[in-house]
A and B are shown apart, each in its own frame.
Chain A
């Protein structure tokens, strides 16, 4: 009957999951030769590979070399006893998760507690029946296999994580280099043309921003200027912006339409930059300044971020309702003209600055931006712009902006 049960358990281990059955390596540590030989024979009959050691020291060497799936160790042994062996294994990073069955001839609760506390996973009484021995070994092997699987998964996760971190760093580096390229296309602050001063501050929400601007001479007397804003977020928006920026280069416009007439520039851009499949688009404001007279003609495609701040009069927004690029293929853009006086300033700004929200969700707003500009008329242009950023940051109570924040200032210095 006993024999039948044992065989049944052994068979069930074999047959219940034939595809999963693996010959396990079991290390048996027992100083008493007769017990060791008889136990080894039983384990071999279960189909496992059995390694034998007659003392703790030898067992440690074998365990390090072979990494067995299970160790069965006798409690009572000369020199290194079972619990000390368990402790040593648990301290070794390469072996610490090996499943250990501690063999004992006593089964006092206090002794069991001590054995568990010192690193054993389970107990095996020397008086145990064959069935119990078989059952405990199989249970130990099941646990051992699960632990190994977990360890493998953990190691795979860790290596995936490392791989991801490497990829992330590569992408960051790519983005940085793309950003450096786009940044090199932005107009350098200083004197873009005699009689004009240019200053700007730009803080993209990402490394690579989607809101861009340009100020460049068209000929000896004219200056072209624009600010564009891509809807949407992320790298895709930034790349689309860079392509529109390239399109808006003065040389390109002169070649395509023979001038930098703002309405014509918008008409052409509207034709060539339709809505994306996701419904993304640009808003764009384009101006052309005749520097000797201060005559500014401008047109807007849905961009509402240009403020004229005259030295002696109240400021005003240079915009009117208009379709963003790609909304209406037949759109015709109207241009307006205004005369700038010496010391007048023009500000081109992205919505990221005036839509900076307070912690309660209230945007800073164009009106507050305008106020900040009004109070800074006597300051240097760069100081005025810097003040706007300070105020917007104070409003949102954080340094970084959620959207690209740009303020470009142009001043007639004569």
Chain B
């Protein structure tokens, strides 16, 4: 798994590449917490290049979104692939974490 971090207007984007699974959970958690500890107001996790998400990965997304909420910050997901999207839908994730199709949408939603 590769995680790249970049700053965009009013937010930080993590571009994740590879599988978000049990074996990669530590790397993902560390990357998100680094952003969180800098008091970022909005983290957008770009899932465009994530092929597979297992139950641990799913739990981690929820855990991270809960910790951002506690900090009054926003946590969004961007462009999940169809398989990942299906897993998230079965677990009702879209009701808890906003999912956007474009970075622009994610940023506008923040402004709104």
Contacts and interface: CB of A to CB of B under 8 A. Distances in A.
Contacts of A382: none
Interface string A242-286: 000000000000000000000000000000000100111101000
Contacts of B90: 302, 304, 319, 321
Contacts of B55: 229, 231-232, 281, 283, 351
Contacts of B95: 323, 328
Contacts of A322: 91-92
Classify chain A: how many residues form its interface, as a range: 20 to 34
A324 interface: yes
A290 B62 CA distance: 36
B91 A324 contact: yes
Contacts of B91: 283, 302, 321-324, 327
Contacts of A279: 25, 29, 56, 59-60, 62-64
A327 B56 contact: no
A321 B92 contact: yes
Contacts of B73: none
Contacts, number: 61
Contact of B59 (A233, A281, A319, A328): A281
B66 interface: yes
B59 A231 contact: yes
B41 interface: no
A327 B62 contact: yes
Interface of B is mostly: helix
Nearest to B90: A321
Contacts of A319: 90
A50 to B, nearest CB: 60
Contact of B22 (A233, A323, A327): A233
Nearest to A355: B54
Interface in B32-64: 55-56, 58-60, 62-64
A233 B62 CA distance: 18
B12 to A, nearest CB: 20
B89 interface: yes
A348 B89 CA distance: 21
Contacts of A233: 22
Contact of B25 (A278, A304, A331): A278
B96 interface: yes
A280 B62 CA distance: 10
A377 B7 CA distance: 58
Contacts of B60: 279
A275 B22 contact: no
B92 A231 contact: no
Interface of B: 22, 25, 29, 55-56, 58-60, 62-64, 66, 89-93, 95-96
